[in-house]
Amino acid sequence: MARNITTGIDIGTYQIKVVITEYGNSNNGNLPKIIGTGFSQSKGLRHGYIINPTDTIRAIKIAVAQAEKSAKVRIKKAFISIGGVGLEEAHSKGGVIISRADSEITDLDIEKALKDSEKKIEQKILNRKVLHDIPLRYKIDGGTVLGKPQGMKGSRLEVDVLFVTCLEQHLNDLIAAVEEAGVQVEDVMASPIAGSFVTLSRAQKVAGAVLANIGAETVSIVVFENNIPISLKVFSIGGSDITNDIALGLKIPLEDAEKVKTGMLSGVEFPKKKLDEIITARLSDIFELIETHLKKIGKNGLLPAGIIITGGGSGIATIEDLARASLKLPSKLANGGFGKSQVIEKMHRQVRDSSWAVAYGLCIWGTGAEEDPVGVKIIKESGGNIWQWIKQFLP
């Protein structure tokens, strides 16, 4: 019997992480079991963009080889994430006259309404590809619909849609690098959404929450409400900025500054007050950006599940308290017991923190283990050029 193997590859600016899972025949409920992991230091990337393909391909090969050795399987295909400052959101509304004579709304009507909404923003997303189109709300004859409109009756269907887009060239470069490393790309997902499959529970997504992933050079946030992502934003600031500030403020090498930031440097003492001031100043900048965005979408102070912090930069001791004070929201680290993040560590000793959430989230998505999947399948056209997007998803 063939094994149900799924691979997720998270290509970050600081590290490339690979997770290999097997679905079924495990005691992990509906979750795929982690059987292998691999990572390498990212080379050739800046703010999520590939600037040196050769270095990036080499780094991907190292991480993949490590995961293959760990899992004792060969990786032929994988689901990958895309992040960086090139990710953006766009909102649009579309509408369609119901096609059936009996006025019953079908999947075809919904698909036409989604296409109409995308057509209205085509000029605003030049040089960009739509990764996900997320219906936020439907209306039938002007009245808001609770739930899905299929099977209901009316004369006109309207839909309010969130589009998650990325730069087309960035997407092409990323997929080309993975395939040049010998791995076929099955699907692509925005990394903040992939991470949410692991770090957020359904209850948090329904109540309202913001997931903040603090990476090396970027901070990405995705806001959930009523179990669907309603907003996504990436800021060009990250954990490396805090490290740089510490190095300058304390006049120490970058390597030591990174260890000081995470509390891993022993045997050397620095002025605690000055260190706290340095870290607090930069974290305050990050949370101010998040607060400004939440105000823009009208959700500041209105997310009962609060902010859940993840990523490689989430290991700073005071980060929870500062987030709580800055945003006036409940605050929690993703590896503190929320969502499925603890499952990772229990299933595989090499996976120790929530920075692996994106790679594992891709596996959950790829196996269909997520109870409310978010995503769009891609099919490559002949000749290896991208991409014909064929299946729209519903909340």
Which domains occur in the chain, in start order?
Answer: 5-85+169-197+357-379 (3.30.420.40), 88-165 (3.30.1490.110), 201-338 (3.30.420.40)
Q: What is the three-state SS of 168-198?
A: HHHHHHHHHHHHHCCCEEEEEEEHHHHHHHH
Interval 239-280: pLDDT, tens:
999 999 999 999 999 998 988 887 777 777 888 889 989 999
What's the CA gap between 272 and 345, in Å, rounded? 32
Token duo for residue 208:
């309202």
3-state SS class at 136: strand
- Write phi, then psi, for 94 (nearest 5 degrees): -135, 160
Alpha carbon distance 283, 171 (integer Å) = 30
pLDDT, position 377: 37
For residues 374 and 395, give the distance between their C-alpha atoms in angstroms, rounded to a whole number: 7
What phi and psi, each to the nearest 5 degrees, are found at residue 78?
A: -155, 160
Q: What is the pLDDT of residue 157?
A: 96
Q: Give the Cα separation of 270 and 321 in Å (integer).
A: 22
What's the whole-model pTM score?
0.86
Residues forming a β-bridge with 92: 161
Nearest to 245 by CA among 271, 274, 265: 274
Residue with the two structure tokens 């997007």: 389
Cβ atoms < 10 Å from Cβ of 95? 14
Nearest to 236 by CA among 87, 355, 127, 126: 87
Name the stretches of the chain with pLDDT < 50.
336-339, 341-343, 345-350, 375-395
pLDDT of residue 163: 95
**Nearest in space to 133 (alpha carbons), one of 70, 193, 80:** 193
Q: From CA 64, how far away is CA 74, in angstroms rounded?
A: 9
Q: 């090499």: which residue's tokens?
A: 350
